[in-house]
Amino acid sequence: MASEKIQHLSDDNFASLIGSSDKPVLVDFWAEWCGPCKMITPVLEEIADEYENKVNIGKLNVDQNKGIPGEYKIISIPTLLVFKDGREVERVIGFKTKKELKNLLEKHM
């Protein structure tokens, strides 16, 4: 992944990273074989650059991590969850444009 501003999440570090964030967190649940997941990555990288001090962005590979996707009942990918104060506040499923994602985040800043 090109952007070092996007955090790689796992079953092991998910709770601590989400719970310790003082900003909204956008989490992308994805898999290597998922076409729309690959399409959304560059969009997330642009948002990570533009919103560097306002939002945290993380990606969690559902094939390598089974616990968290099960806990949050992720049944389709990409699924993007927005967390604020450690709690899920919004969920969108499928590819979203940069404008749609920015609007989603703006609501929770």
Q: What's the pTM?
A: 0.95
Whether 21 is catalytic is no
25-74 confidence digits (pLDDT tens) = 999 999 999 999 999 999 999 999 999 999 999 999 999 999 999 999 99
In a domain, 81, yes or no: yes
pLDDT of 3 strictly over 70: no
Do 105 and 24 contact (CB within 8 A), yes or no?
Answer: yes
Our CA angle for 75, 105, 70, nearest 5°, is: 20
In a domain, 15, yes or no: yes
71: CATH:
3.40.30.10
In a domain, 106, yes or no: no
Q: Which of 6, 9, 27, 34 is catalytic?
A: 34
Q: Which of 9, 18, 25, 37 is catalytic?
A: 37
72-92 confidence digits (pLDDT tens) = 999 999 999 999 999 999 999
What's the number of domains the chain is made of?
Answer: 1
Spatial CA neighbour of 83 closest among 46, 56, 102, 43: 56
Our CA angle for 43, 85, 74, nearest 5°, is: 55
In a domain, 42, yes or no: yes
Whether 37 is catalytic is yes
**How far is the C-alpha of 34 from the C-alpha of 93, rounded, in Å?**
13
Residue ranges making up the domain that contains 90:
6-101
